[in-house]
Amino acid sequence: MTATGRVGAEFTAAWRSFLRRRTAVFFTFFFPVLLILIFGVLVQTQPTGGGLFTEPAGYYVPGYLAVVVLFTPLSRIGSTVARHRDGNRFEKLATTPLSRTEWLLARTLVNVVIIGIASLLILGLVVLVTGAEVALSPALIPFIGIAVALFCGVGALLGSLADSTDGTIAASNTIALPLLFLSETFVPPDLLPTWFQPIVNLSPLTYFARGVRAVTNEASAAVWGRDLIVLCVLAVGFVALGAYALPRTD
């Protein structure tokens, strides 16, 4: 069997495993919907007022997408790696032609599909509920796919290095929560202390938020191209690190 065939077989198995876990399916799509209903309907944006949500509704589209792009890969890949490690499943994997890199690639592709579907749901709901003006561009596809791959790599690292599944989940939340609100998603940089604003550039999610915001505002590729390049470089690096960190049995 070729590498493509091995990845495809693992992708199919992982996809079916996800669909069988109805609770995981439900909350994967319900959590971002709940967030949109809270912020978009109950809190609402107030462009002419004061407070946190002072930007137009379209400004927060990257933040809503970031919820699934960030949390889902970190928790799903991280907990899966931790469970496989604790159950010695990587020892069984070593007896098959499927390499650790191919295993992580297949799992990453599953998350890209899942989060792609969730992103379509989020975009439609944001437009319907908040009235945000969102330009649907093909450029959104690479931003979402590459960001998902990046955080799958981070999740693989956490799952390999944490001492338990619970520890992996705790570490994922500890990393994800600050990134979600301090990466030009929901909080504009000018609301942060001056000394902290350059630190925002250290977050991979910042480049996702900037790029998606530019794309949904119909900006030219010259505006969002740099952000996509940075995401690509970071994704390659973290996926390579994540694959290398997966438990070894040789």
How do residues 99-139 score in pLDDT, each as one tens digit? 889 999 999 999 999 999 999 988 888 888 777 778 888 88
Q: Please check whether residue 250 lies inside any domain of the structure.
A: no
The dihedral over CA atoms of 113, 114, 116, 119, expressed in degrees to the nearest 10, equals: 180
The reported pLDDT for the residue numbered 166 is 86
The proportion of the chain whose per-residue pLDDT surpasses 70, expressed as a percent, equals 93
Q: Please check whether residue 48 lies inside any domain of the structure.
A: no
Of 95 and 170, more confident: 170
Q: Please check whether residue 129 lies inside any domain of the structure.
A: yes
Q: Which two tokens stand for residue 189?
A: 């940089």
What Å distances lie between residue 188 and 9, 59, 225, CA to CA? 43, 9, 21
Query: How many separate domains does the chain show?
Result: 1
C-beta of residue 199 within 8 angstroms of C-beta of residue 118:
no
Q: Please check whether residue 160 lies inside any domain of the structure.
A: yes
66: closest CA among 225, 183, 187? 183
Q: Please check whether residue 8 lies inside any domain of the structure.
A: no
C-beta of residue 114 within 8 angstroms of C-beta of residue 72:
yes
Q: What is the DSSP letter of 40?
A: I
Residue 132 is part of which domain span? 15-43+56-245
